[in-house]
Amino acid sequence: MRMLSEASGSIAGAGALLTILRDGQARTRAELVQLTGLARSTLAQRLDALLSQRWIIPTEEAISSGGRPAVAFTFNRSARVVLSADLGATHARVAVTDLATEVLAERAAELPIDRGPEPTLTWLQRTFEEMLAETGHSFDQVCGIGVGLPGPVEHSSGRPVNPPIMPGWDGFPVPEWLGEHLGVPVLVDNDVNIMALGEHWSARPEADHLIFVKIGTGIGCGIISDRRLHRGAQGAAGDIGHIRVASALDTVCRCGNVGCLEAVAGGAAMAARLRAEGVEAVDSRDVIRLARSGNTQAVQLIRQAGRELGDVLASIVNFFNPSMIVIGGDIAEAGEQVLAGLREVIYSRSLPLATQHLSITASELGDRAGVIGAAVMVIDHVLSPDTVDQAVTRA
């Protein structure tokens, strides 16, 4: 242990220093000594390490007492860019952002995930290249890639785990494949997890405990506990689409079981039910289109789906006591219809103490929650104290 400390001692701690500076405020050497208690020579080594990687930049700041300007240091949000992608069942959204998640370029496209990993990731790689060219950046400036996928992902390896709607993807080494081609770290997670991250980080920073529910083709949720993403023991947390509900006990789900919530309240299930009633509907977006144009069957289905989902969430509210439930995904675009059904059930069935300050609302980021969240995931990793320490030690 001592040897390790000695070998990396001079710049271990650079990451902790960067964490202080990430708030964007400029600080002088004297202020940083004061804040951290570090020896001046140690501070100098850490600042040099961060400067050499351009994570921070020097600025000149006048001292209020009227002396000559002292050098101050500030976080450099343009030091690198992030590539992020939110791949859904049928469509994809891709973005380039800076280190404060500002979107520099963005694209949406039809992209069925069931084409398999190689065609999908080849398309993604080409799209990233084109968008980087568009924003005038080179690969050298990319600090990481974040990808959301519509199925369970083992976050530590970035590999999908038995994803039900992604033939060919089970165990596919997404990070190695994308990283080999692009030469940067690649983080992969479930699409609903990154949506929860994005919504929490950029629109609801005040909510300590947040549940983000995506209602698209299927149903799933991302969980923020105490301001951090709760992924669970196998990264499978939030898979509420396959919770058994009484009204679905005679319905077979696409997962092969009977009784799953998404077999009655998911977009695909609603479209199928409309077809059975003679209404033309292929997927969740058709259900929304019909509801918006006033089709009463579609409106009733969506409202009832809200109640079914509310039934499941009422139990989860008792268990988890969130401060906020956010609804996203295609079906959420029929916002008030879903929310009305949801609220009706949750407020009647959950405990008063758990609902007295509970806010139930539609996503503010909408379609963008996923790409913003994928960028947040990458930035939190790349700027974490340990990662920064390793980066400056290697450099």
* Exposed/middle/buried for residue 158 (C-beta within 10 Å: 0-12, 13-18, 19+): buried
Closest contact distance (angstroms) between CB of 304 and a second copy is 18
Gyration radius of the chain's alpha carbons: 24
Q: Does 239 bind a second copy (CB under 8 A)?
A: yes
Q: Report the SS3 class of residue 39.
A: coil
Cα(229)–Cα(280) distance, integer angstroms: 39
Is residue 170 a contact residue for a second copy (CB under 8 A)? Answer: no
Residue in 80, 200, 231, 368 binding a second copy, rule: CB under 8 A: 231
Q: Which stretch binds a second copy (CB under 8 A): 55-63, 110-118, 135-143, 235-243?
A: 235-243
Q: Using CA atoms, how far apart are residues 219 and 254, in angstroms rounded to an integer? A: 12
**Helix, strand or coil, per DSSP, at residue 329:** coil
- Tell the smallest beta-carbon distance from residue 152 to a second copy (Å): 6
Angle at 329 between CA 190 and CA 248, to 5 degrees: 90
200 binds a second copy (CB under 8 A): no
Residue 152 touches a second copy, criterion: CB under 8 A: yes
**DSSP symbol at 220:** E
Does position 357 bind a second copy by CB under 8 A? yes
Nearest-angstrom CA–CA distance, 164 and 170: 9
Q: Which of 86, 76, 83 is closest to 105 using CA atoms?
A: 83
- H-state helical runs in 156-208: 174-182, 191-202
Pick from 136, 140, 233, 280: which binds a second copy (CB under 8 A)? 233
Pick from 115, 118, 232, 364 the residue near a second copy by CB under 8 A.
232
* Residue of the chain from 319, 361, 364, 386 that contacts a second copy (CB under 8 A): 319
- 244 sits near a second copy (criterion: CB under 8 A): yes
Length of the chain (residues): 395
CA dihedral 326, 329, 331, 337 (to 10 degrees): 20
**Binding-residue total with a second copy (CB under 8 A):** 57
Only one of the segments 83-91, 222-230, 275-283, 385-393 lies at the binding site for a second copy (rule: CB under 8 A); that segment is 222-230
Taking residues 27 to 66 in sequence order and writing x for each that binds a second copy by CB under 8 A, - otherwise, the string is: ----x--xx-xxxx-x------------------------
Is there binding between residue 314 and a second copy (CB under 8 A)? yes
Q: Which residues bind a second copy (CB under 8 A)?
A: 2, 5-6, 9, 12-13, 31, 34-35, 37-40, 42, 152, 161-162, 208-209, 221, 223, 225-226, 228, 230-240, 242-244, 246, 312, 314-316, 318-323, 349, 351-354, 356-358
